[in-house]
Amino acid sequence: MKETTNFDDFSVKKAISLAKTFAKDAYTKELGVVLSVAFRDIRNLPALKFNQNEPIPLKEYVKKWVARYLSGYNGRPSKRQGKKSQTKPDPAVKLILRTRREDIDDNFADTLEKGHSIMMTIEGMVGNLLEEYLATILHPYGWYCCWGSTIDAVDFCKEDGSLLQVKTSSNSENSSSIRVRNGTEIRKWFRRFSNKANKFNWVALNEIIGRDIFSEENSEREFRDFITRTIRENPGCIYTPEKCHIEDVQMELL
């Protein structure tokens, strides 16, 4: 939210009380910590479609905030059911490919288009899987996941107000997020170097969290093991067509 945004009552204590009422049995210590940290700086709070030019009713805001948090938590990869993407392919893409490579027929161009759509869906899931994996690893050390993007541009926080933003790749960092809020720097970490094959950044996370628990040798393998286990236990977390056989066609695109 904007720094100039006003609430009809900006009380952390009241926000926690309201959260307990709305969450009921789903209220947890972790939810309370994330909410408390979010309210330390108004810029932490997601807008949630409220009009920031008018005083925002705290009760209604917390109700939406709790719903967003619980939806994010209950929709984590190990629990969610994937849905078919409603995004339709741009026909200009296939036109460009076929114009550039006239030896590619319509059938193969269609195969590439469908395969690209599936891979884009899967690529979008990597960040969600990384978030859930780190949530299980970092939780014992007091780092709690801000499920549902309930702190703006922040993925994990600690009770002391520490903030951490996590990205899957070095070229997907959010440079637009405010680096310092309430005197606390938003620490940033990415998993892989986008311009280097099989080069990962797990060790850098040790310095950020103040623990020596990640290693160059094992952490990426352990993350991939988590991915495999999660998808085998909940294959429906990613939507794929029932029939998605792709012919084994080998070609080199120039």
Reference 155, options 183, 194, 121, 191; nearest CA is: 191
pLDDT at res. 252: 40
For the chain, the 3-state helix, strand and coil shares in percent, each to the nearest 5, are 45, 10, 40
| Sign of the torsion angle spanned by Cα atoms 115, 130, 69, 157 | negative
pLDDT at res. 177: 52
Q: CA angle at residue 155 from 213 to 207, to 5 degrees?
A: 30
Q: What is the largest CA-CA distance in the chain?
A: 67
pLDDT in tens, 106-128: 888 888 888 887 888 888 899 99
* pTM listed for this prediction: 0.87
What are the structure tokens assigned to 223, written together?
A: 């993350």
Of the chain, the percentage scoring pLDDT greater than 90 comes to 71
Residue 79 near residue 68 (C-beta atoms within 8 A) = no
Q: Which residues are within 8 A (CB) of 83 and not within 5 positions of it... i.e. 6 or more apart?
A: 239
Domains of the chain by residue range: 1-74, 91-119, 121-245
pLDDT in tens, 33-78: 999 999 999 999 999 999 999 999 999 999 999 999 999 999 999 9
Low-confidence ranges of the chain (pLDDT < 50): 176, 246-254
- Looking at 139-165, list the stretches that DSSP marks H as alpha helix, in order from N- to C-terminal side: none
